[in-house]
Structure 1
Amino acid sequence: MTDYQPINCSYYDELEAMATLKKVIPIVYRNDRGEEVLIATRITNLYTRNKEEFMVLENGLEFRLDRLVSADGKVVIEGNACRF
């Protein structure tokens, strides 16, 4: 697995807000082959482990946030990562 590239801190805050709303939203992420995948589901959890941030979806899918492309139409913001 490649070195983790943290996402923008304000974007992480937006993801937390989306999770709180418990609304089904479109999520685009890159799978293990680097292909973009679009699904519609709820964010059930966001957490940090070993200085890497993860998203857990209602369908049980879990991935590092540096594989996220967009959530609810909002494209991931680069730079200005949160401090661990």
Structure 2
Amino acid sequence: MTRPYVPIDCEFHDVLEATAVRRRVAVIHHLDDDGRTRVLEGRIADLYAAGAVEYMRLDDGNVIRLDRIVSIDGERLDAYQRR
């Protein structure tokens, strides 16, 4: 069963948008459906919402729910949520 979506901090969303605009390859740590940390490298092709859940699509087709991101290029999501 999938956890309910938890919106991410707006400042972290800005980090994702800046990474997407720069079109550079990023190192993304995220949690898979089993709660294990996975690492991907890729360019962010799109940030979008569907059914009140936000997602990131990479140029290789991988899709990651934004609240499942652990970090992108060393910027940790949890560091922004504590502000």
What are the equivalent positions in structure 2 for 1:4-83 lying under 5 Å apart? Answer: 4-76=5-77, 77-78=80-81
Greater relative contact order (CA < 8 Å, ≥ 6 in sequence):
1
Scaled by the length of structure 2, what TM-score is found? 0.88
| Residue 46 of structure 1, CA deviation | 0.3
| Residue 59 of structure 1, CA deviation | 1.4
Number of matched pairs: 80
Structure 1 segments (4+ residues) deviating >2 Å: none
Secondary structure of 2:18's aligned partner: helix
String of CA shifts for 1:22-80, please: whole Å, max 9, x gaps.
Answer: 00110000011111011211111101122211010111111211110001110012268
Q: Does the alignment pair 1:3 with 2:4?
A: yes
- Structure 1 residue ranges without an equivalent (≥5): none
CA RMSD in angstroms, aligned pairs only: 1.4
- Structure 2 residue ranges without an equivalent (≥5): none
Identity of aligned pairs, percent? Answer: 36
